[in-house]
Structure formats: C-alpha cells, structure tokens
Structure 1
Amino acid sequence: MAKPSRINPETFARIADQLPIAKDAASVRQRVELLERLLERSLVIPGINRPIGLDVLLGLLPVGGSFVGAAFGGYMVWEARNLGMSKGAMARMAGNVGFDWLLGLIPGIGIIPDFFFRSNTRNLRIIRRHLDKHHPATVTLEGSAPAAP
C-alpha cells in the first residue's frame, strides 16, 4: 500500500504566512489578488508567452472543472459581499462567473474561451475599484505591501 504524501510543515507554514485570514479590507485585497493570480496567471505557455492559470487547467476536466472554477469565482463574489459592495457590482461579478461557467460547459471547445474571457481578472478589477474608492489605505503598487496606517 502506498504511503500518502503530506505537505512539509515548513512549506505549509510559509504558504499560511502569505495568506492573510483577517477580515479587514487590506487582507481581503491580498486574498482576492492571490486567487486571481492563481486562477488566471500562474503559468506562462512557452512560445507564445500567454499566461494561463488554474481556471484553464480546470477546463480540461469535463464538466466538473467548470463547476470548480465557478466555485472559486463564487468565493470572490462572497468576499465582495463581505466588503459591503453594492448589489449591482456583485450581480455584474456573478454574471462574469456565470458566463465563464456556461462557456466552459461547451464540450471540446470550452477551454478556448478561458484564454480570452478572464472572469476572475474582470472581477478583481471591480473589487479593486471599490477598495480604491472606499478603503484608500489598501491601495498598493503592483507587487508591494500595503501602506502602514
């Protein structure tokens, strides 16, 4: 019988340190930016230099991959709800996730729209706009830490 693999405790601690669990706006910004990077830009296709992420890879799984990708997108909408975003903005975000989900259900070619319609990137843009307007202390330059209060 094969021995189950485990995550090295030091690796797990390093990942946990990078993922804030607080409910403040700065922590939410870090979580949704990390999730968007994982889902849309975690790998680069050699030769064409096109970034892809877990969302495209999940699209390779028939039907189930679209549901898992939609669940990740739903998490971003849930975080938006926790930030107190308007129902209109959340409806737009849910529409982005739903459209991506529907495109992913097309057998055989459902992965192609994931290259062009990046719902998580669109939703991150909506969340950033809200955070920049209502929580200006969370504004960061790309790749830098949030400003100290």
Structure 2
Amino acid sequence: MDYELPMGTDPVSIRRRVEAMERVLERSFTLPGTNQQFGLDALVGLVPVAGDLISAAMGLYLVWEARNLGMPKWQLARMTANVGFDSLLGVVPLAGDVLDFFYRSNTRNLKIIRKHLDKHHPETRVIDV
C-alpha cells in the first residue's frame, strides 16, 4: 500500500489526506484482547490540558480541509461543533478520556466530508475490496 500522501488541492488528494488523518486519529491501534480501536486522539487526550488542545487542533485540520473543498458553512459549523464537543468531553478528568474512545468526532467529520465528496465529486470514490 502506498503511504505517500498527495499534496494537491484537488478533491482526490484532499479525500486521501482526510481519510489518512482520521485513521491515525481514531483507528491506529487495537486494544489488546478486544476489537476496540483507538488512535492518537485518545492517546494525546491523556495529557491534561495540552493533550486536549493538540487533539482539538488535529481535529480542526479536517475542518480546514473541508473548507478547502468549498463545503457549506453549516457543514463546517457542524464539524467544528463535533470537535468542540469532543474537546469538552476531554476536559473531564478520567471520564473524558474513557468517553473519547466512544465519541469519535473525527470519524463523524470524515463521514460528513465523504458525503459531500460523493455528491459533488463522485470521481473521488474508492471501492474497497
């Protein structure tokens, strides 16, 4: 599999980057003995304050890429709200870290971006085998 990410501003390049970012943030690792996946978002969130800020910044990267696609402002606002809610959960000591495994704002935001791309740029679709 090719792990080099495209640097272009075309919809195909953006789709590949946001899918890779979501995978790194939400599904990089598997909890031993289970099928529960987690990523950097959950790990970085374990560091008080700074971890939550870094996690929010990484989540806002997806919103920035969505803006580059020309997505409507209401979708960008919805995506920003997902990141904000995730960040608010992270502020709660311990419980926020556990909830971060279940509330995946980056996965939700990727779903919004994919829906937009499938409708407005169907040539970016990839059929997984």
Task: Point out the structure with max Rg over C-alpha.
Answer: 1
Per-residue CA deviations over 1:94-129 (Å, capped at 9, x if unaligned) read: 000000000001122221111110000000000000
Identity of aligned residues (%): 58
Aligned partners of 2:64 and 2:89: how far apart in 1? 22
Q: Which moved more, 1:54-63 or 1:35-44?
A: 54-63
- 2:100 is paired with a residue whose SS is helix
Asked whether 1:98 is paired with 2:84, we answer: yes
Asked whether 1:137 is paired with 2:123, we answer: yes
Aligned counterparts, 1:24-39, within 5 A: 24-39=10-25
Per-residue CA deviations over 1:44-71 (Å, capped at 9, x if unaligned) read: 0011220000001011101111110100
Aligned counterparts, 1:80-119, within 5 A: 80-119=66-105
Residue 33 of structure 2, aligned match among 44, 47, 53: 47
Aligned partners of 1:52 and 1:76: how far apart in 2? 18
Q: TM-score, normalised by structure 1?
A: 0.83
* Unaligned segments of structure 2, at least 5 residues: none
Q: CA RMSD in A?
A: 1.2
Question: Across the two proteins, how many residue pairs are aligned to each other?
Answer: 128
Per the alignment, residue 79 of structure 1 pairs with 65
